[in-house]
């Protein structure tokens, strides 16, 4: 269904406790979530009929809502079951899932404590975020103008819709200049992340990655750190200055959508798609696949 607008696709969406036809999964134009960004979401993938780290994603969804001051009226178990039901009803095996929760339209204004909390889950087939050709040679990143804000000013541990506004602006600006994505610094001017993925660097056989102290500590990020350590590769989480980019040999991004994606260029800095990055690409591909038919059927 590539190229078909998302509001015109076929199938069903899980919406407030029931499956509804895709085209009928609508929100009102005066929903609080649209005007004041009181909305949280997740991105998760299924491989071979198994949703990777579903429990962690669902727990983070509920946590994100609480960070924004509301409770999603469904339990982890109910949301997990809804995702599994949706995968079955949609006939999906390898797919992307987008749970999203938001405040409704009962009141319009900054305060909306009594607004209904809605939850919807959509799922669809979705290939790699970057093309195989891009992955093989590494993607090119621009340097973003906007920075990740001070953690005292935002609920940075939440996967909240409003926090992605500067990411969209930055990615659009990068694409307009022929890049695939952009690297964002943090409010102190240190390296933070890409617009929708965490970033890692390799030097002298060790992996270096920014401490997630003002941006999301990704679930895929944690998975890949575990894979690297299982290989005996040292992973150092620390402050990384932008001028250090000149000294790193390899670079890659991680995320549910990005998976493990090599980077060949960030602004004026170049990197090779080396052995460590290639190994982690392979290890992650193995990690996300169900280990046997019984696991896929769980």
C-beta separation of 186 from 242 below 8 A: no
Distance (Å, rounded) from C-alpha 101 to C-alpha 42? 9
Structure token pair of residue 185:
């610094």
3-class SS at 267? coil
3-class SS at 43? coil
Query: Which H or E run includes 40?
Result: strand 39-41
- Closest by CA position to 113, among listed 78, 147, 69: 69
Distance (Å, rounded) from C-alpha 227 to C-alpha 232? 9
Distance (Å, rounded) from C-alpha 229 to C-alpha 227? 5
Please report where in the chains the tokens 């819709």 appear, as a residue: 161
Instruction: Supply the DSSP string of 69-125, one letter for each residue.
Output: T---SS-HHHHHHHHHHHHHHHT-SSEEEEEEEEE-SS--SS--TTSPEEEEEEEE-
Of 50, 135, 159, 171, the active-site residue reads: 159
50 noted as active-site residue: no
Structure token pair of residue 33:
């979530």
Q: What radius of gyration, in Å, describes the C-alpha atoms of the chain?
A: 19
Active site residues: 159
């Amino acid at each position: 269904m590539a190229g078909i607008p998302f509001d015109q696709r076929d199938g069903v969406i899980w919406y407030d406790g029931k499956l509804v036809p895709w085209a009928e999964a609508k929100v009102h134009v005066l929903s609080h979530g649209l005007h004041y960004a009181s909305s949280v979401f997740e991105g998760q993938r299924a491989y071979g009929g198994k949703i990777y780290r579903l429990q962690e994603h669902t727990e983070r969804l509920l946590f994100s809502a609480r960070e924004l001051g509301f409770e999603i009226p469904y339990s982890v178990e109910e949301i997990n079951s809804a995702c599994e039901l949706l995968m079955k009803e949609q006939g999906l095996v390898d797919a992307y899932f987008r749970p999203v929760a938001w405040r409704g339209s009962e009141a319009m204004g900054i305060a909306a404590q009594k607004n209904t909390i809605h939850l919807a889950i959509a799922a669809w087939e979705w290939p790699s975020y970057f093309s195989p050709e891009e992955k093989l040679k590494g993607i090119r990143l621009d340097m973003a103008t906007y920075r990740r804000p001070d953690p005292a000013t935002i609920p940075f541990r939440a996967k909240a819709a409003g926090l992605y506004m500067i990411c969209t602006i930055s990615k659009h600006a990068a694409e307009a200049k022929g890049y695939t994505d952009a690297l964002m610094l943090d409010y102190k001017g240190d390296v933070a992340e890409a617009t929708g993925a965490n970033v890692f660097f390799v030097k002298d056989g060790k992996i270096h990655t920014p401490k997630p102290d003002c941006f999301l500590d990704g679930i895929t990020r944690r998975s890949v750190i575990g894979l690297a350590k299982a290989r005996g590769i040292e992973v150092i989480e620390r402050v990384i200055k932008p001028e250090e980019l000149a000294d790193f040999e390899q670079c890659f991004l991680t995320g549910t959508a990005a998976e493990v994606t090599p980077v060949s260029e960030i602004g004026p800095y170049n990197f090779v798609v080396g052995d460590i990055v290639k190994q982690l690409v392979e290890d992650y591909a193995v990690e996300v696949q169900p280990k046997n038919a019984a696991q896929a059927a769980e």
